[in-house]
A and B are shown apart, each in its own frame.
Chain A
């Protein structure tokens, strides 16, 4: 018996990425997240994100079916303007194809263009996939949070710092620790 046509491997070009378009997208996002992530979110949590920052939520579709989503926010936190990635889900059959990377990349681009200085999120220390994904995008593991999750697992706080526009570096470097460069590392 042949496998139904819909089960064939999707080409990257077949994946359609849409920005949050309105109420009709909300149930899609909710069912994806409810299915895959274990935290119980109320509908108000979703509304908080998609109403205030609709341009920071993206959905991935394959032949009309929603297969992934990313939900973010941004705002001021202790005098830094920063983005926060709240939820990222891609359903199992579609993992490993770069969909999550594409979703996150699009969201981060918007965050960056909006003037944020950095982006942050938390991820389980055991979530190798997520850590590798974000590592490739330039995130560092800024902190470890002890037993952050209810199941006792630690989390990393991941942070991505955008380049700051600075004046070019002055040629005259100040005293003291320059001697480290000169005497110890003179290999040029």
Chain B
């Protein structure tokens, strides 16, 4: 084939039988000459917007097929010795290099979990891409098989959880050999290799003299002084993989049956991670690798570059545009990553698998505090909701009936078939799933579902009112239904306000509010907490149905219902009362500072505080949560506030009283006690700050006042400095 210049162009793609290559460069050149600068061929289905997705052929930034340095295919890489089998003819070097491959795969796996593509991480390993080649090398082969099977199990779990489109990048495995014949035997393969190495470790430890023959076939490698070290290094890596795989498989057992066993495997994983970390010194000193400062950034324990990895080998598999170069986590960072992942999985095992929805919701909030990654969250969701039931066992109408105090005489069947109960069941399932997503997505979804909860509340209210109006005409059944609608309404409204409070609180975690907006945010939080408290108190005020109490000991009842009534409930209310006072106190303090010091002024050329208010609370307002709240009301409440008013009302002192009595109720619950402590710090510091500001004078220019979240995640402390 000749190009325009008459030179031979190498045919990198051979012509086939029914195919001939023709050089159209002259045609394209002529077409280009016809167009002027700025002109675009405008076809029926090709406009400017569509043109944005155009490929620029032969631009290395945009064309992933573009020739570049490096291998063009996996086969070419293999032919050029990029992934030798064995990794060395010297058995000691072979083991070293094999461990390096394992370590790099480990780092790649952590990088994948952190949000990069499978193709650029785990599957940048040529050994993994052509796994059959490794069958002559049992150690490498078994590790690759279990690695691949683990990826497959994890992807299946995340796909099943169907979290949402923002995180489905994780499961993209187009064109990658995720599964293969013989993968189901990966565990037995691994076990037999583990057994062999384990035996070898016992043998070399038992030797009276270490000067054993170098060519002993059973030995891992040829240097008898190093045999124990390498056996240990290999074993902990194999065992980590084994226990991790087992843990993941156990967690998928239906109805949480495998959780106890999964916990044991997770503990073993953590222990093996410890052994892996201990192997670092040995591997580094014997590898003869670099001992520079960069060693901490390396993706292997030994610090040496591993064989068999090519970052670009899969670049044509992804989008037409080449993927950006990514940074693989260092081996040390990977260890830390897996420690965190395992601890997050462990947190799932400590969940109380009971029927209390309140407990579940609180546990979910607690679980999310450590910002667990997708894999942990997906597994939690799969545990909680299976086949439309809680833990795959309890239908949600049972969960709801436990959360309510049902009117005397309500039959289970009538309850189950009640249309509102069915709908509320669906809303609850959806809520639980949303609470398992990452915080950013979660907040948006919580804002959206407020509409759904609001709608059902309106429907319940209509049902209740309509029936109430015509009470005299109704049968006993219908009166019962009315009472039920009322209880469901109170429960639904309480849940709605709880969702609204989570929506607002997450804004702090996500750093969505600027200090200029704190005043309106705390004001809205105050309003939401007041309403939440009201609904909680209404729910608790219903007398417990005596017929359900028959035969139950008081202690069992209290345990049964948990936070739903009794001591648990009233302490929850007291905590929300604290939130009410603190929110109010902060609102007033911020308003007073705004009024007297002119700080936190919003002075944009394009809009005012009113627009910011509308935007921040749009979803709440749209759902009427609560009704009749407006910027105007906020202004009325805050425009004339002065520091002296705030000091007089002593919000923070009120909270201190309540916190003192809460200590007793929360004893034994370390998370709750921690929050009590944090709240104590917040109110004490703010109380003091207030009195300082009051004494010096709020408008005194020598004062410097900032609000910082030093103690509590969503209540700040006023930090006052005098210059």
Contact = CB atoms under 8 A, between A and B. Distances in A.
Nearest to A47: B48
Given A42-B56, A47-B48, A177 B633 contact: yes
B15 interface: no
A129 interface: no
A137 B511 contact: no
B52 interface: yes
A161 B610 CA distance: 10
Contacts of A156: 512
B637 A185 contact: yes
A180 B51 contact: no
A151 to B, nearest CB: 8
B52 A138 contact: no
Interface stretch (A5-13, A63-71, A88-96, A139-147): A139-147
Given A44-B51, A125-B511, A152 B611 contact: no
Given A44-B54, A145-B440, A135 B514 contact: yes
Interface in B35-69: 37-38, 40, 48-49, 51-52, 54, 56, 59, 61-62
Interface in B623-651: 626-629, 632-633, 636-638, 640-642, 645
Given A47-B51, A145-B440, A180-B527, A185 B641 contact: yes
Nearest to A180: B527
A161 B444 contact: no
B346 to A, nearest CB: 24
B48 A44 contact: yes
Interface string B498-524: 000000000000111110010000000
A162 B628 contact: no
B606 A160 contact: yes
Nearest to A46: B52
B605 A105 contact: yes
Nearest to B627: A176
Contacts of A137: 604-606
B115 A51 contact: no
Interface stretch (B563-571, B612-620, B679-687, B694-702): B612-620
Nearest to B513: A141
A185 B40 CA distance: 64
Contact of A48 (B49, B56, B584, B604): B49
Contact of B511 (A40, A43, A52, A144): A144
Given A152-B114, A173-B633, A177-B527, A23 B607 contact: no
Contacts of B37: 23
B369 interface: no
A181 B636 contact: yes
A178 interface: yes
A50 B708 CA distance: 44
Given A143-B444, A161-B611, A180-B530, A51 B48 contact: yes
B628 A187 contact: no
A159 interface: yes
B104 interface: no
Given A138-B611, A140-B615, A146 B511 contact: no
Interface residues of B, number: 60
A174 B624 CA distance: 14
Given A136-B604, A173-B632, A146 B440 contact: yes
A174 B608 contact: no
B471 interface: no
Contact of B166 (A26, A146, A169): A146
Contacts of B321: 40
B447 to A, nearest CB: 9
A138 B626 CA distance: 26
Interface in A16-42: 23, 26, 40, 42
A1 interface: no
Contacts of A146: 166-167, 438-441
A138 B632 contact: no
B443 interface: yes
Nearest to A185: B637
Interface in A154-188: 154, 156, 159-163, 169, 173-178, 180-181, 184-185, 187-188
A187 B608 contact: no
B333 to A, nearest CB: 13
Contacts of A152: 114-116
A160 B616 CA distance: 11
A51 B606 CA distance: 26
B607 A181 contact: no
Contact of B440 (A112, A143, A173, A178): A143
Interface in A102-124: 105, 108, 112
B324 interface: yes
Question: Which of B49, B52, B440, B606 has the most chain A CB within a 10 Å cutoff?
Answer: B606
A51 to B, nearest CB: 6
B626 A40 contact: no
A45 interface: yes
A185 B636 contact: yes
Given A44-B48, A154-B440, A163 B632 contact: no
Contacts of B629: 177
A71 to B, nearest CB: 13
Nearest to A143: B444
Contacts of A45: 52
Contacts of B615: 140, 142, 159, 161
A3 interface: no
Nearest to B62: A40
B602 interface: yes
Nearest to B111: A152
A160 B604 CA distance: 10
Interface string B323-337: 010000000000000
Contact of B612 (A26, A51, A138, A176): A138
A140 B48 contact: no
Given A147-B115, A184-B584, A52 B628 contact: no
Nearest to A118: B615
B607 A138 contact: yes
Contacts of A142: 512, 615
Contacts of A125: 511
Contacts of B584: 184
B324 A174 contact: no
Nearest to A177: B628
B640 A188 contact: yes
Contacts of B605: 105, 137-138
Contacts of B61: 40
A177 B626 contact: yes
Contacts of B642: 187
9 closest A-B pairs by CB: A138-B604, A44-B51, A185-B637, A144-B440, A40-B61, A161-B611, A146-B440, A144-B510, A138-B607
19 contacts: A26-B38, A40-B321, A42-B54, A137-B605, A138-B612, A144-B440, A144-B511, A145-B166, A147-B115, A156-B512, A160-B604, A160-B611, A161-B607, A162-B606, A175-B628, A177-B627, A178-B628, A180-B530, A184-B584
Given A135-B514, A160-B611, A163-B611, 9 more contacts: A44-B40, A47-B48, A137-B605, A138-B608, A144-B511, A144-B512, A160-B604, A173-B632, A185-B637
Interface of A: 23, 26, 40, 42-45, 47-48, 51-52, 105, 108, 112, 125, 135-138, 140-147, 150-152, 154, 156, 159-163, 169, 173-178, 180-181, 184-185, 187-188
Interface of B: 37-38, 40, 48-49, 51-52, 54, 56, 59, 61-62, 114-116, 166-167, 321, 324, 438-441, 443-444, 510-514, 517, 527, 530, 584, 588, 602, 604-608, 610-612, 614-616, 626-629, 632-633, 636-638, 640-642, 645
